[in-house]
A and B are shown apart, each in its own frame.
Chain A
Amino acid sequence: DGGITQSPKYLFRKEGQNVTLSCEQNLNHDAMYWYRQDPGQGLRLIYYSQIVNDFQKGDIAEGYSVSREKKESFPLTVTSAQKNPTAFYLCASISGLAGGPGTQYFGPGTRLTVL
């Protein structure tokens, strides 16, 4: 089945550690996105990538890093520089941009808790 997978579903991290969240899609989508969701708030954009080997900062990129070495994969690293990393992280992808933005499809999310 086509879709977006994120792993792990739950992740616990000690303060000062870097952690990497996985996002994989087999939809052959060009663009991929990472959002952060805090309780009672909407989603906020962390990073996005429209093509392989290229990515752009979103609204809240500080303390995060990404890579896009393959079309299918867009991992997010939460570094120790992120002051408040406990949140729900959602990955999304979208089909080609020609003709207007298509629909963003979302993965199931990773809930990160810093202990």
Chain B
Amino acid sequence: AQKVTQAQTEISVVEKEDVTLDCVYETRDTTYYLFWYKQPPSGELVFLIRRNSFDEQNEISGRYSWNFQKSTSSFNFTITASQVVDSAVYFCALSGPVTGANNLFFGTGTRLTVIP
């Protein structure tokens, strides 16, 4: 069974603070893919990153960075110097191997509020 857990339901930070959103996953597949999406108040999910299970290199994109650790089944997301525009719900998601349906298993999301 595949499962994604985002234990932090809501987080509030003051602008310019760093914040880390946690994501823990469960899967029996040896090949899998992990994703982060941002859902602003408008509702549309915006893709942020995709990582496959064979690539444990951390990734940085501007103020965003991701820490993938297979040993702890975690794929955490850090926003550096947060801004008000970062306020949104963030979802971590998991997808199986190529032969599967490729649908995404989502966590319940973390609502981030950045206070000016």
Contacts and interface: CB of A to CB of B under 8 A. Distances in A.
Contacts of B108: 40-42
Which of the listed residues B4, B102, B106, B107 has the most CB atoms from chain A within 10 Å of its own CB?
A: B102
A33 B101 CA distance: 10
Given A92-B45, A92-B104, 15 more contacts: A40-B9, A40-B109, A42-B108, A43-B91, A43-B106, A44-B106, A45-B103, A45-B104, A88-B43, A100-B98, A101-B33, A103-B47, A104-B104, A106-B44, A107-B44
A115 interface: no
Nearest to B95: A101
Nearest to B111: A40
Interface residues of A, number: 30
A109 B43 contact: yes
Interface of A: 31, 33, 40-45, 48, 50, 56, 58, 88, 90, 92, 94, 97-109, 111
Contacts of A41: 108-109
Interface of B: 4, 9, 31, 33, 35, 37, 42-47, 50, 52, 91, 93, 95-98, 101-104, 106-109
A100 B33 contact: yes
A83 B42 CA distance: 26
25 contacts: A33-B104, A40-B108, A42-B91, A42-B108, A45-B103, A45-B104, A48-B101, A50-B101, A56-B101, A92-B45, A98-B98, A100-B33, A100-B52, A100-B97, A100-B98, A101-B95, A101-B96, A104-B104, A106-B47, A107-B44, A108-B42, A108-B44, A109-B43, A109-B44, A111-B43
